[in-house]
Each structure stands twice: as C-alpha cells, then as structure tokens.
Structure 1
C-alpha cells in the first residue's frame, strides 16, 4: 500500500493510523499546487480529486477521503483497537466523532487558510471554532484520556492532526486545558512521533 500525503495536512491522520496499526505502508509526498508527486508522477492519475490523502492498494484500487482511509486501515488490524467492530455501538460512536471532526473542526479551519477570506469572516470562523473547542473541553472534563474513553482510536488521530493547525492560524488552545492536555497526550504517542518525523515535521 502507498499513502499519498502532504506534510502536516489531514493525510497525517491515516499515516498515524497505519503506524499505530503496525501496517507496512509506503508514503509519497504530493505538491498540491503542481499535482506532481515526489517521484515525478502525475498525482491526478491516482486521484482525480487532486487532494490528499489517497491510498493506493496493492491491487491498484485507490481510496480517498481521510476518514474512510483511516477506517479501512484500522479494520486491517482489528487487534489494534483503533476502531470497534462493525455493527457495534462503539463503532458508531467513533464514526460520530469522525463526522464531527470532518465537518465541524476540519472545515472550520478552512477559511483561516484561505488568503482570500475577509478578515471579518476569519473572526467569525475563529468564534465558531471556539464553540467547538468548548464542546471538546466539556467532553474531556470527565477525565477520559481519549474522545471515546481510554482507548486511542482513529478519531483521536484525526482530532490531533486538525488541532496541530491551531497555532498556524493564530488560534490559541490555552483557554482549554483539557483539550490542550489531550493534544499533548496524543502527540507524545511513539507512533505519532514516528509519523511526524517521517513527514519532516519533527527532528529525527
């Protein structure tokens, strides 16, 4: 398998999941402006959407959409506990979190990365994110280590990656101590550190 990625983008989430699952996976960086990979390949041939992540399977099939790829990878290693069994309530709770992160958190950051976004709207976007952070703070206030309890799941990997963007757009998590502690806790996991190093985001 090969994961197409851009360092620090949402593709970092399935990269973390793959390492946490102990899967043998290759990675190939993509220049999202030129749509050319680090080997000189035309990325649009692998993923016509032009976005990362994309996962090329050994049979030539290509999966896209980070939350889906993370589920697929986790299901390849059920003993990892990264996602509960299909049909279980625990599975749907993790999927609930994946959808919240994708639609409320991930997309909430999008206007802040767009240089064309008016400053007034950026202020509104930050206020919207603050409400999402407050919700996460309240959930974590019961002392749980991760979003669904004491087991690290694909949802935690995705949430962590999105939260790494906060400092890049001038959003301060200091007002949310439980959320900040969660961010630090996930960031210290050995496989998370390994993914960051592999993408050049952390000194080797």
Structure 2
C-alpha cells in the first residue's frame, strides 16, 4: 500500500492508523500547490479530487476520503481493534463519530484556514466551540472518543484538533480535550507519523 499525503493536513490520520496496524506501506508526499507528487507524478491522475489522503491498495486501486481509508485499513487487521466489527452497533457508533469529526469539526477548521470574511470565520469559531464542548463531554467519561479503546476515530480527532494551535484556537476551556490530546500524542505511532511528516522533530 502507498499513502499519498501532504504535511499538516488530514492525511496524518490514516498515516497514524497504518502505523498502528504494523502493516508494510509506503508514503509519497504531494505538493498540493503544484499538483505533483514527490516522484513527479500528476496527482490529479491519481485522485481527480486534488486533495489528500489517497491510499493506493496492493491491487493497484485507489481509495480516497479519510474516514473510508481508515476503516478499510482497520478491517485489514481486526485483531488490532482499531474499529469494531462491521455490522455491530459499536461500529455504527464509530461511523457516527467519524461523520461528526468530518462535517462538524474538519469543515469548520477548514474555514479558518482559507480566505473568508471575518464574519464567516467568527461563525466557524462559534460552531467549533459548541462542537468541541460535545467532544469534551464525551471525553470526561471515556479515555478515547469511541470508548476506552484507541480507534480510527481518535486518529482523526487528534489530527483535526491539532490544527487549533496554528490557527490560534484556544482549547483551554475544555480540559478533557487537552488531557486527551496529550494522551494520544504520547502514542509511539502518533509521534512517528508526526516526525515522518515533518510536523515535529524526532
């Protein structure tokens, strides 16, 4: 497998999950500005959507969209328990959280990264505050987002919430979230993924 990624984006999430599985995989960096991969390939020929992540499967097929990729990877090694069994209520709860992160947190943070009227950005910040409060409430009684087992939802949530610092979005009002981020950051796989992508030093 090969993961196409860009530093500082949501592709960190499947990178973490791949490391959690212990499966062999390669990574290739994408320059989103030029649309070229590190090997000089035209990224749009790989993923016409033009954004990351993209996972090239061993079959040669390409899979896009982070929540789909992390579930696919988790299901390759069910014994790692990165996702509950397909068809179980616990799996649907996981999907529920993945969708919440994607539509309510990822999207709102995305607004802050791009050029937008100040009123739009302020509205996004207010939405984020309400949504992060929901996450904080969950984490007051659970070690991880979908329970007490690290899952693909945690890889995604950690990735998205890590954008708070560069965007100067203050998380101090949510102590459970802060403690959670410290716990997840301490995982060897998370540290390794961040080092590999140049987000932190080894």
Same fold? TM cut 0.5: yes
Aligned to 2:126: 127
The answer to whether structure 1 residue 118 and structure 2 residue 117 are counterparts is: yes
Aligned to 1:200: 198
Which consecutive aligned stretches of 4+ in structure 1 deviate over 3 angstroms post-superposition?
A: none
Aligned to 2:144: 146
Aligned to 2:30: 30
Q: Distance in 1 between matches of 2:68 and 2:117?
A: 32
The answer to whether structure 1 residue 82 and structure 2 residue 63 are counterparts is: no
SS in 1 for 2:166: helix
1:153-164 to structure 2, matched below 5 A, reads 153-164=151-162
1:57-72 to structure 2, matched below 5 A, reads 57-72=57-72
Q: Distance in 2 between matches of 1:122 and 1:167?
A: 16
Q: Distance in 2 between matches of 1:158 and 1:148?
A: 12
1:39 positional shift = 1.0
1:46 positional shift = 0.8
Q: Distance in 2 between matches of 1:101 and 1:108?
A: 10
SS in 1 for 2:146: coil
Q: Distance in 2 between matches of 1:147 and 1:97?
A: 8
Aligned to 2:189: 191
Aligned to 2:172: 174
Q: CA offsets, 1:111-137, max 9 Å, x none?
A: 10112x011211111010000111111
1:99 positional shift = 0.4
How many residue pairs get aligned? The number is 202
SS in 1 for 2:105: helix
Unaligned runs of 5+ in 1: none
SS in 2 for 1:195: helix
Q: CA offsets, 1:116-162, max 9 Å, x none?
A: x01121111101000011111111122x2101221000001000000
Q: What root-mean-square deviation, in Å, do the aligned CA atoms of Structure 1 and Structure 2 show?
A: 0.8
TM-score (norm 2): 0.98
Unaligned runs of 5+ in 2: none
Q: Distance in 2 between matches of 1:17 and 1:36?
A: 24
Q: CA offsets, 1:19-50, max 9 Å, x none?
A: 01111110000010111011111111111111
Q: Distance in 2 between matches of 1:175 and 1:202?
A: 25
1:95 positional shift = 0.6
